[in-house]
Amino acid sequence: MRAREKERESRERRLEKKAREQADHVALEEQKSALGRELSTLRLAHNKLAHSYRELLEKRKDSERFVNDIISSTPETPARPDTKAPETSLQDELKEGKVEELTGGAKQEKSGEEEEELDEDSMEWELRNTDSVFSELSELSQDFVDSVDQGASIRSADQFEEILSQYEELKRTELVDTARKALINRVVELTDDRSALKLEVTSLRETAARVEGRMKEKEEELKRLREKLETFQSSDPDASLATSMRHFSRSEMARVVMEKNQYKQRLFELQEAMRQSQTLRATKEERLSEERRSSVWALSPRARRRELYREIRSHVWGTLGKRQLHGWSVPLANTQPEPQDVPVLTQLRLLDQRDCTAKCSVWVVSGPASSSAVSVIDPARPNTVLDQFSLPPTAPALCICAVPPVDSPGTVWIGTQEGIVIHAASADRGRCLHSVSLSESVHSLCSQGQVIAGLGDGTLAFFSSSSGWNLQSHSLMPLGSNPVQPIRCCLAKGGRLWVGYWNRVHVVDINRRKFPVSERSEQQVRFLCAGGSGVWTSCRLDSVLRLFDWSTGRPLQEVDFAALVTKSLLELSPLQISSLAVISSRLWVGTAGGAIVSIPLSISEAVSIPYCSVATAQLCYHGHRQAVRFIIAAPQLILSGGEGYINFRIDESDGSVELFQATLQRFERSHMIIWQNPSVPVPSAAL
């Protein structure tokens, strides 16, 4: 809190400083206007001075022309003997001009015609008074001529000094004009700075308002937490101990956080299940008698579930009939031809024996949230276990992915609560080859040239292999904003990556984009399956499957499975899609109630979009007692895994004694259902 207060005080000081700068800016604007008025006054004075200067130049030219005319018209005379200094007076010039007058007159008589042809010389002879200048001036007294000569020289000197002073003033005016232009440029810069400061002040005020609001929220939250802490300390005397005395390890905290998230997710699922089952429960209560209803509620939860299974079997026999195809129901539409290439059930298995001679293997992760066990089996001999080992209790597994060999042998990557561990795919599987700790848990993994991991804070981590896997050097790409959610599904294909985050799909390629999958903002995209040129998607707690175009993300089809499963299996559980896969031109759907549905897709050489029709859907009579955890493909085989096994057409009741046993029966333990497919499916990366 002290750090936040200091940060707020520093921000207030910065705002005050910017306010003072803005006030200085306003003062500069006022100074700019005053300088503008002064500049207009200077311009007017400059124009007047320039006009006076031009007039003076014209007068000076006239005076010089007049003096030159006088000098040129006055005859040359020798200097007077009493003159001491070599100074030239107007009288001497006139005397000298008289001699020139006499000699010039004689020359004029000889070349008069030539002088008249020149325009400039003729104008000068017309202006000159050659006949009267000497005669007029020679009659004047010597004192008068001296005074006139002295006055002319004084006036010319004064005018010349005045012209020089005006020229200097004109130069200063030019400097003022240069300064004026520089001042205008500076004013423009200050105006731009002022606009930028205004925008910055506005944004800072908005930021300050948001920060104040968040501070108030944090203060209220802090008060609530303090109250809870005081209540907890009053109820638990050990809570007041120091953290170092409680002996909480990082693994314990991670396990607690993971269990909390699982319980929270389970709570959401149960709430949604309650809402979906209200209508079905009302219908069932009207149908059942009071006596039977009371007898059912008198039994244990396991007995109630077995009673429900009996009702489902009766409903399956009455609705779907006796016909079946290799353990699958006949399509609902009778007009449809009998489907071809139906997967054939080959085996059911538990994780029992051990054998290390197989080449192809399937890795299965099982166990509670506190610990994870990995079983490696041979799909061709599913009753044998090739290898089995446990992960450290500090790193329970959340996802698994097979990485094909690039520069090194094939490996299996396991995402855990603390990071990623890598094991060899063949020999010495139980030994950890590499591991890396990340800041967030890893909830999804996919591989295409590089390994992409979806983290718990809505971030993608990219691991590349140039000369071996360097797990410490990886790049991150955040996708989400608050509140964040884990990235639980990724799909890489053809240099493009699809990522499910909240209710949207983010497409990561050259042109990064995103589009919504569901209109409900609280939904979460959980499954992405590619088939042909389309992608099937599913959201958590949603019974609707949606098909999108792989290249453009355009929605193509929506399929609701609620009516299909309810019609076939009554209310086995509220319909939630728990697994999804596209294998051998079929869409495989596993539900939270343990049912498995397979629908043929319309993928061919002519049609690449994997459309499907509910009328061709087939229900598998072999299912699990709880959610279908995975559906994957192996060479020539298709595998599903989940807790327990059930045949929806056979009654497995063995008496009332078994109903109250505390231990799990064989049919209630984790099972895998294995089908053989005539076509060759592409192995899944989750093997």
Contact, 535 vs 611, CB < 8 A? no
Q: How many residues does the chain have?
A: 687
In this predicted model, which residue has the larger pLDDT, 306 or 527?
Answer: 527
Rounded CA-CA distance 300/589 in Å is: 31
pLDDT value, residue 662:
41
Query: Is residue 368 classed as helix, strand or coil in its secondary structure?
Result: coil
Q: Report pLDDT digits (tens) over 269-296.
A: 777 767 766 766 666 666 665 545 444 4
Give the Cα separation of 374 and 385 in Å (integer): 10
The answer to whether 475 touches 487, Cβ cutoff 8 Å, is: no
CA atoms in the 13 A half-sphere facing the CB of 221:
7
DSSP for 92-143 reads HHHHHHHHHHHHHHHHHHHSHHHHHH-HHHHHHHHH--TTTHHHHHHTS-HH
Q: What percent of the chain has pLDDT over 90?
A: 15
Cβ atoms 322, 658 nearer than 8 A: no
The distance of Cα 448 from the centroid of its chain, to the nearest Å, equals 23
State the Cα–Cα distance between residues 544 and 559, nearest whole angstrom: 6
Domains of the chain: which residue ranges?
A: 2-80+87-208, 303-390+489-676
pLDDT exceeding 70 applies to what percent of the chain? 69
Per-residue pLDDT for 671 more than 60? yes
Q: Which pLDDT value is given to residue 664?
A: 53
Examine the pLDDT at 123 and tell me if it is beyond 60: no
Q: Which of 19-33, 291-305, 452-466, 658-672 has the lowest mean pLDDT?
A: 291-305
pLDDT number for residue 573: 54
What angle do helix axes 2-73 and 142-235 make, rounded to 10 degrees? 170
Tell whether the model's pLDDT for residue 590 goes beyond 60: yes
Mean pLDDT (whole number) for 348-371: 66
How do residues 618-660 score in pLDDT, each as one tens digit?
888 888 888 899 999 888 889 999 888 888 877 655 443 333 3
Q: Looking at residue 228, what is its pLDDT? A: 84
What's the pLDDT tens digit per position in 63-107?
777 767 766 665 544 444 443 444 444 445 444 544 444 444 444
How far, in Å, are 105, 204, 219 from residue 210 at the CA level? 105, 10, 14
Q: How far is CA 388 from the centre of its chain?
A: 43
| Tokens standing for residue 519 | 């209109």
Distance from C-alpha of 594 to C-alpha of 643, rounded to nearest angstrom:
8
pLDDT for position 284: 65
Residue type, 471: L
Distance CA 57, CA 49 (A): 12
Mean pLDDT of 459-474: 85
Instruction: Give 330-342 pLDDT, tens digit per residue.
Output: 776 654 566 667 8
- pLDDT of residue 317 exceeding 70, the answer is yes
Question: Tokens 């896997």 belong to which residue?
Answer: 469
Asked if the model's pLDDT at residue 583 lies above 70, the reply is yes
User: How would DSSP label each residue in 452-505?
Assistant: EEEETTSEEEEE-BSSSB-TTS-EEEE---SSP----EEEEETTEEEEEETTEE
According to the model, what pLDDT value does residue 264 have?
76
Q: What is the pLDDT of residues 4-22, one digit of tens each?
A: 888 888 888 888 888 888 8
What does the pLDDT look like over 243-264, one tens digit per residue?
A: 555 566 666 777 777 777 778 7
For the stretch 158-214, pLDDT in tens is 677 777 787 788 878 888 888 888 888 888 888 888 888 998 898 889 889 988 988
How high is the pLDDT of residue 667? 57
Q: What is the pLDDT of residues 408-425, one digit of tens each?
A: 788 999 999 889 999 998
pTM of the model: 0.57
Residue 658: predicted pLDDT = 38
pLDDT of 400 strictly over 90: yes
Task: Report the alpha-carbon angle 165-39-59, nearest 5.
Answer: 30
CA distance 262 to 406: 36
Instruction: Give the per-residue pLDDT at 103.
Output: 45
Q: Which amino acid is at 214?
A: R
CB-CB contact of 623 with 594 (8 Å): yes
Window from 131-135, 372-376, 592-596 with minimum mean pLDDT: 131-135
